[in-house]
C-alpha cells in the first residue's frame, strides 16, 4: 500500500481553498487542481502491512509529543521556483513551527525503522495544483504577492493515509488518526 502521514484540513478551509483555485486565472498553464488538499508531514511510499504497524507505533508516540495548535495560511508560491512552476502551493504562517517539529520528529523516528530521511529541507504547504504547461508562467506572477485570507484552523490530530492512484486522481483512505496532546490549561 502507498502511504503518507498528514494533517487533514477542515471543511471551512477546504471551501476556502476551492474559492482560491477558482479565482486563479491560470487555465493557460493547464493546472491539475488538487481535490483533497492536506499538509503532508511525511510521504512513505509503498509499504507492507508489517512496516505499517511500526509506522503506526511511531505516529502514536510522536503525536503525543506535540500539543494541539492553530494554523493560518498565507501567500502562494511555486516549486521548484516561480519562473518554472510545477506545483502551486499555499504557505503556512501561524503554527508553522509545530508542523516543522512534527515533520522532523517523524522523519527522525521513521529513519530508525528503515525509512530514508528527507534530503531536502521540509517546507510546510498545501499543494493547490500541479502545472502541466510552463510556457506562460507569467500568468502566475501577479498571484504570488497576493495574500489569501482563510480562517484559522485547529490541528488536534495527524493521520496515516493510504493513497490509491487511479486515472482520475488519487483516492485517499484514512488508516488511523492519532490525537495530539491537549494543551496544558492554566486556570
Q: Which residues are catalytic?
A: 38, 125
- Edge-to-edge strand order for the sheet containing 2-8? 38-46, 2-8, 157-164, 171-179
CA dihedral 25, 26, 27, 28 (to 10 degrees): 130
Instruction: For residue 11, name the pLDDT band (cuts at 50, 70, 90).
Output: very high
Mean pLDDT to the nearest integer, 45-54? 96
Tell me the pTM: 0.91
Of the given ranges (6-20, 51-65, 119-133), which has the lowest mean pLDDT?
119-133
What's the pLDDT at 133?
Answer: 76
Going by C-alpha positions, the residue among 167, 158, 175, 130 that lies closest to residue 2 is 175
**Angle (nearest 5°) at CA 54 between 53 and 56:** 65
Q: Which CATH class is domain 2-179?
A: alpha beta
Set of cell numbers at residue 16: 476556502
What's the pLDDT at 168?
Answer: 84
Residue matched to cell numbers 513551527: 97
User: CB burial class (10 A; 0-12, 13-18, 19+) of residue 175?
Assistant: middle
pLDDT at 51 over 70: yes
Instruction: For residue 139, name the pLDDT band (cuts at 50, 70, 90).
Output: confident
Amino acid at each position: 500500500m502507498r502511504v503518507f502521514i498528514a494533517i487533514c484540513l477542515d471543511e471551512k478551509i477546504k471551501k476556502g481553498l476551492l474559492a482560491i483555485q477558482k479565482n486563479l486565472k491560470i487555465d493557460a498553464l493547464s493546472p491539475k487542481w488538487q481535490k483533497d488538499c492536506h499538509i503532508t508531514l511525511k510521504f512513505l511510499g509503498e509499504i507492507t502491512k508489517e512496516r505499517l504497524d511500526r509506522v503506526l507505533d511511531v505516529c502514536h508516540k510522536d503525536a503525543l509529543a506535540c500539543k494541539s495548535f492553530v494554523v493560518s495560511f498565507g501567500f502562494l508560491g511555486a516549486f521548484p521556483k516561480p519562473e518554472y512552476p510545477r506545483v502551486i502551493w499555499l504557505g503556512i504562517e501561524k503554527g508553522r513551527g509545530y508542523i516543522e517539529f512534527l515533520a522532523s520528529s517523524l522523519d527522525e523516528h521513521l529513519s530508525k525503522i528503515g525509512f530514508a530521511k528527507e534530503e531536502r529541507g521540509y517546507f510546510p504547504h498545501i499543494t493547490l495544483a500541479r502545472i502541466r504547461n510552463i510556457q506562460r508562467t507569467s500568468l502566475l506572477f501577479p498571484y504570488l504577492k497576493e495574500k489569501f485570507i482563510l480562517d484559522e484552523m485547529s490541528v488536534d490530530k495527524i493521520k496515516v493515509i493510504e493513497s490509491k492512484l487511479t486515472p482520475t486522481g488519487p483516492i485517499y483512505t484514512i488508516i488511523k488518526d492519532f490525537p495530539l496532546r491537549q494543551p496544558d490549561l492554566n486556570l
